[in-house]
């Protein structure tokens, strides 16, 4: 077992060696520009891109012509939301999202709001779940887009995308989902869920960083977006710029691996997650599970350790790579907007640590991480007068959810 141990896979995943093997030739002898249509180097690159487009499409049940390659999830989310808002501004100015969306969805809506768009931010329950009926009630004759993430990047809660999609289709409103954390981890099919636009990225599914995609439905309904990057008309005019051929090849390979291995892998990861959870809660009291106990990603475990400041715990775990929440907000000292939306309060929100198990995590690593967490939490609580007071008054408890 090598140290440190990586347990932050919701921030990024290691590139699978099989993916890297597929990519390497496109850095060297097969280095052509996919837009160069007059010689074999360009033809070879174009063929590789189209193969990857098929692989990405197959994973989500789409047609290859509906896949637009981007630089990653942030660009995909911006293109989806801003592109749709600009395209359909003559039909309405109302957009519906949830309070717990990633910043790559929230921030574009703040900009649109400043431009005169009406944005509804739906509340979630204590598990971070959206009520589909709240979506229905919020839709007006001015609504042009609903955007609800498929699975939350911090607490792992899986949204009722299928139910929401039925409502948006019935109402004739476009439905976008930030599917970054869900795709490749749990079944996700754009047609079964009535999703019209979906954001994806390679580096959350054992592919390379710097490569993402946007699924854009071509029929029933045909979705059109106004591009946010112009200059060459690449990707059906929706996203100009020289394609990242090695990254796209890796993205496609990663999608194919997920398609073939997702079912068995999800079972193994959820088993490791449960083991980690029960090892920790079997030795520590006042541990709270954030997110839904059952409707959650198989590799996500988000725990609050009362009387232990999350950043102090992270610093104490010198040989374990963890985070307190979203990697994009890791330098922000404010409490997580996702956790605050669930109503747990600022104290517990600041006591939270996110564990992200991945494809290469071993049982031995789970044992080590659990032991280290238990040790450091006990050390920090020994320094806490509040914990000692609660223990003395017999007010402490173990908070054990069933994560099956």
Q: Worst-scoring range by mean pLDDT, 182-191, 291-300, 324-333, 351-360?
A: 324-333
User: How far from each other are the two terminal CA atoms of the chain, in whole angstroms?
Assistant: 28
User: Which class does domain 17-257 fall in?
Assistant: alpha beta
Average pLDDT rounded to a whole number, residues 149-164: 98
- The pLDDT value recorded for residue 325 is 67
Pairing, β 5-6 against β 320-321: parallel
Q: Given a cut of 90, is residue 398 above it in pLDDT? A: no
Q: Given a cut of 90, is residue 291 above it in pLDDT? A: yes
Cα–Cα distances (Å) from 241 to 46, 53, 114, in that order, read 14, 17, 28
Q: Given a cut of 90, is residue 272 above it in pLDDT? A: yes
Q: Given a cut of 90, is residue 62 above it in pLDDT? A: yes
Let me know if domain 5-11+263-392 sits in CATH 3.90.1150.10: yes
Residues 294, 369: Cα–Cα separation, whole Å = 23
- The pLDDT value recorded for residue 399 is 45
Cα–Cα distances (Å) from 74 to 103, 195, 304, 310, in that order, read 9, 18, 28, 27
Q: Given a cut of 90, is residue 284 above it in pLDDT? A: yes
Q: Given a cut of 60, is residue 85 above it in pLDDT? A: yes
Q: What are the two backbone dihedrals, phi and then psi, of residue 143, each rounded to the nearest 5 degrees?
A: -75, 130
- How much of the chain, in percent, has pLDDT values that exceed 70? 94
Average pLDDT rounded to a whole number, residues 270-293: 97
Pairing, β 67-70 against β 197-201: unpaired
Q: Given a cut of 50, is residue 401 above it in pLDDT? A: no
Q: Given a cut of 90, is residue 248 above it in pLDDT? A: yes
Taking the whole predicted model, whether its pTM rises above 0.75 is answered as yes
Q: Given a cut of 90, is residue 13 above it in pLDDT? A: yes
Please identify which of the residues 211, 255, 258, 328 carries the catalytic annotation.
328
Q: What is the DSSP code (8-state) at residue 66?
A: G
* Contact yes or no for 185/262 (Cβ under 8 A): yes
* Contact yes or no for 325/338 (Cβ under 8 A): yes
Counting beta carbons within 10 angstroms of the beta carbon of residue 372, is it exposed (0 to 12), middle (13 to 18) or buried (19 or more)?
middle
- The pLDDT value recorded for residue 237 is 86
Q: What are the two backbone dihedrals, phi and then psi, of residue 178, each rounded to the nearest 5 degrees?
A: -80, 100
Average pLDDT rounded to a whole number, residues 3-26: 98
pLDDT tens column, 101-153: 999 999 999 999 999 999 999 999 999 999 999 999 999 999 999 999 999 99
Q: Given a cut of 50, is residue 296 above it in pLDDT? A: yes
* Contact yes or no for 196/221 (Cβ under 8 A): yes
Residues 188, 329: Cα–Cα separation, whole Å = 27
Q: Given a cut of 60, is residue 161 above it in pLDDT? A: yes
Residues 111, 389: Cα–Cα separation, whole Å = 47
- The pLDDT value recorded for residue 315 is 96
Partners of 108 in beta bridges:
none
- The pLDDT value recorded for residue 387 is 84
Known catalytic residue: 255? no
Q: Which helix (H) or strand (E) covers residue 365, if one does?
A: helix 363-382
Confidence of residue 388 (pLDDT cuts 50, 70, 90): confident
* Contact yes or no for 322/8 (Cβ under 8 A): yes
Domain locations along the chain: 5-11+263-392, 17-257
- The pLDDT value recorded for residue 385 is 85
- The pLDDT value recorded for residue 389 is 77
Mean pLDDT (the chain) is: 94
């Amino acid at each position: 077992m090598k140290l440190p141990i990586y347990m932050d896979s919701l921030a990024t995943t290691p590139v699978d060696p099989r993916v890297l093997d597929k990519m390497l030739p496109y850095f060297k002898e097969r280095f052509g520009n996919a837009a160069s249509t007059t010689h074999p180097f360009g033809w070879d690159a174009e063929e590789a891109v189209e193969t990857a487009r098929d692989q990405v499409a197959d994973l989500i049940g789409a047609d290859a012509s509906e896949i637009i390659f981007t630089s990653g999830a942030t660009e995909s989310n911006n293109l989806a939301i801003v592109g749709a808002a600009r395209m359909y501004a003559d039909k309405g100015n109302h957009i519906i999202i949830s309070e717990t969306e990633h910043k790559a969805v929230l921030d574009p809506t703040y900009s649109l709001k400043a431009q005169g768009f009406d944005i509804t931010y739906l509340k979630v329950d204590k598990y971070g779940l959206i009520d589909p009926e709240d979506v229905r009630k919020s839709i007006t004759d001015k609504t042009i887009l609903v955007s609800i993430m498929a699975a939350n990047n911090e607490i792992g809660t899986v949204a009722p995308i299928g139910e929401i999609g039925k409502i948006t289709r019935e109402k004739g409103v476009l439905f976008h989902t930030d599917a970054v954390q869900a795709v490749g981890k749990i079944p996700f099919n754009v047609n079964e869920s009535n999703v019209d636009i979906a954001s994806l990225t390679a580096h959350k599914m054992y592919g390379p960083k710097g490569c993402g995609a946007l699924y854009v439905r071509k029929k029933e309904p045909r979705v059109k977006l106004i591009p946010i990057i112009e200059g060459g008309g690449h990707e059906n005019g929706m996203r100009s710029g020289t394609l990242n051929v090695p990254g796209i090849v890796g993205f496609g390979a990663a999608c194919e691996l997920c398609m073939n291995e997702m079912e068995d892998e999800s079972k193994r990861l959820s088993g490791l997650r449960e083991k980690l959870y029960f090892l920790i809660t079997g030795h520590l009291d006042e541990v709270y599970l954030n997110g839904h106990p059952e409707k959650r990603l198989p590799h996500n475990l988000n725990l609050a350790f009362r009387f232990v400041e999350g950043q102090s715990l992270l610093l104490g775990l010198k040989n374990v790579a963890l985070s307190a929440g979203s990697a994009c907000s890791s330098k922000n000292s404010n409490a997580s907007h996702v956790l605050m939306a669930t109503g747990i309060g600022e104290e517990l929100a600041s006591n939270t640590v996110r564990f992200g198990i991945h494809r290469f995590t071993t049982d031995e690593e789970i044992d080590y991480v659990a032991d280290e967490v238990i040790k450091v939490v006990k050390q920090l609580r020994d320094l806490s007068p509040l914990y000692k007071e609660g223990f003395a008054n017999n007010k402490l408890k173990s908070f054990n959810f069933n994560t099956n």
